[in-house]
Amino acid sequence: MSDAAYDLSPSVPTDGVRHVPAGTSLLIAGPPDVDKREVALEFLAAGQRRADGVIVVSVDLGARPLVAADESAGDTDDQRLRIIDATGFGTDDDDDRVVAVDAPTDLAGIGSAFGRQIERYVTMGTDGLRVGHLSATAMLERMDHGAVYKFLRTIIDRVDRGGYLGVSTIDTATCHEQTVAMLADAFDALVELRPTREGPEFRVSGLDAGLSWTSLTI
């Protein structure tokens, strides 16, 4: 795996923000009327269009619709996409890229599946690895925010050590402002989204460059 910066995709106009250093984890936050998952998948798929591997830990969406959403984000249907389905509904799919975990609260199960997927990529020799966790909101519905913080922090520390890219999302309407701030503490940067009449805008804090409200075209 290379230590090169990760390209978040051409939808991010500013270079200092578009290319983030290896080991960076981003929290994408916004109200329900902006599609945070779409933005997260865009950042993940941007890597697969190159030569990175992608692992998505999914709590709020089953593997099949997630694969569909991922492909519509421009990802290709190949072995470099791996899904850890943690919805707890199992998966009827015999897709060998999908590993199902008993429940969203089965943290050891998620971790162990995650470790095995990482090993595959090391064997495959992909350039980099992008890790999505969708979503922090769904996790907070099932666990108190202290446990969610610790879970995310442990994942993020791993992302940092491996030199990967980490992406998660949180809904700012469902979750208390303080909870969002607390979880954001574990991440390197916060990507805030807001709807406008002309389409979604975003701004970034925590990265060297920083970015004030800018329109986002996906």
Partner 1 sequence: MCAHRFNRSIVTDADSTSTVLVVEDDDDLRETYWPWLGGDFEVVTASDGEAAPSAVDEMDGDPDIALLNRMMPGLSGRETLEALRERDLDTRYAMVTAVEPDIDIIEMGFDAYLTKPVTETAVREVIDRLQERNNYADALDEYTALLEKKQTLQAHRSDEELAESDEYQQLERRPEQLDEELDETGADDEAFVATLRGIEDER
Residues found near partner 1 in the complex (CB under 8 A): 105-108, 110-112, 114-115, 140-141, 143-147, 149-151, 153-154, 157-158, 160-161, 174-179, 181-182, 185
Shortest CB 138 distance to partner 1, Å? 10
Shortest CB 167 distance to partner 1, Å? 19
Helices (H) and strands (E) counted in the chain, each on its own, are 7, 11
Indicate the residue among 23 and 200 with the shorter CB distance to partner 1: 23
Indicate the residue among 68 and 181 with the shorter CB distance to partner 1: 181
For helices 63-72 and 36-48, angle between their N-to-C axes, nearest 10 degrees: 70
Shortest CB 165 distance to partner 1, Å? 18
Shortest CB 207 distance to partner 1, Å? 18
Indicate the residue among 182 and 218 with the shorter CB distance to partner 1: 182
CA triplet 161, 101, 71: central angle to 5 degrees? Answer: 75
Q: Which DSSP category does 71 fall into?
A: H
From residue 86, give the alpha-carbon distance in Å to each of 4, 11, 31, 167, 195.
Answer: 30, 29, 23, 16, 29
Indicate the residue among 123 and 178 with the shorter CB distance to partner 1: 178
Task: Give the Cα separation of 100 and 88 in Å (integer).
Answer: 8
Shortest CB 134 distance to partner 1, Å? 17
Please provide residue 209's backbone torsions phi and psi, each rounded to the nearest 5 degrees. -75, -45
Indicate the residue among 11 and 174 with the shorter CB distance to partner 1: 174
